[in-house]
A and B are shown apart, each in its own frame.
Chain A
Amino acid sequence: MKESEYASQVKLETMTREFDDDGQPVFSPDGHHWAYRARRKKNKEVMLLDGKESAEFEAVTNPVFSPDSHHFAYRAKLKKNQEVILLDGKETTEFDAVTKPVFSPDSRRLAYFAKHEKKWHMILDGQEGLEIEKAGSYGPLFSPDGLHLEYLSLRMKFGFKPWEVSEIRDGKPSGLHHFENCRERSASLESPVFSPDGQKLAYVLWQGMRLGELPYEEAVKLRGFESVAAIPNQEPYADRCVVVDGQESKIYDGTLRIEVKFSPDSQHFAYAAHRHKNSTVVADGQEGKLYDNVIGGVFRDVAVGSDSPSHPFVYLAREGRKFYRVTQPLP
Chain B
Amino acid sequence: MSQQKRIFCLGLIAVVVWLMPVTSSTGASPQQAGAGEKNQPIALPAAKEELLTELPSTFDKVGDASWMFGNTGPDHYAYAAKRGKKWLMVVDGKEGPEFVEVDSPRFSADGQHFAYRAVSQKAESAGGLFIRWKMVVDGAEGPQFEELSLPVFNPDSQHLAYRGKRTPATEAREVLIFDGKE
Contact = CB atoms under 8 A, between A and B. Distances in A.
Contact of B30 (A38, A180, A282, A285): A180
Interface stretch (A9-17, A75-83, A88-96, A293-301): A293-301
A293 B80 CA distance: 13
Given A24-B162, A289-B47, A323-B52, A316 B31 contact: no
B75 interface: yes
Contacts of B52: 316, 323-325
B120 interface: no
B4 to A, nearest CB: 41
Interface residues of A, number: 56
Nearest to B148: A24
B12 to A, nearest CB: 32
Q: How large is the interface on B (under 10, 10 to 19, 20 to 34, 35 or more residues)?
A: 35 or more
B149 interface: yes
Nearest to B105: A295
Contact of A296 (B30, B67, B158): B67
A15 B80 CA distance: 34
A86 B10 CA distance: 77
Contacts of A317: 49
Contact of B48 (A284, A302, A327): A327
B54 A38 contact: no
B34 interface: yes
A27 B155 contact: yes
B149 A250 contact: no
Smallest CB-CB A-B distances: 4 pairs: A285-B35, A285-B36, A321-B55, A24-B149
Given A316-B69, A321-B62, 4 more contacts: A249-B35, A321-B59, A325-B77, A331-B44
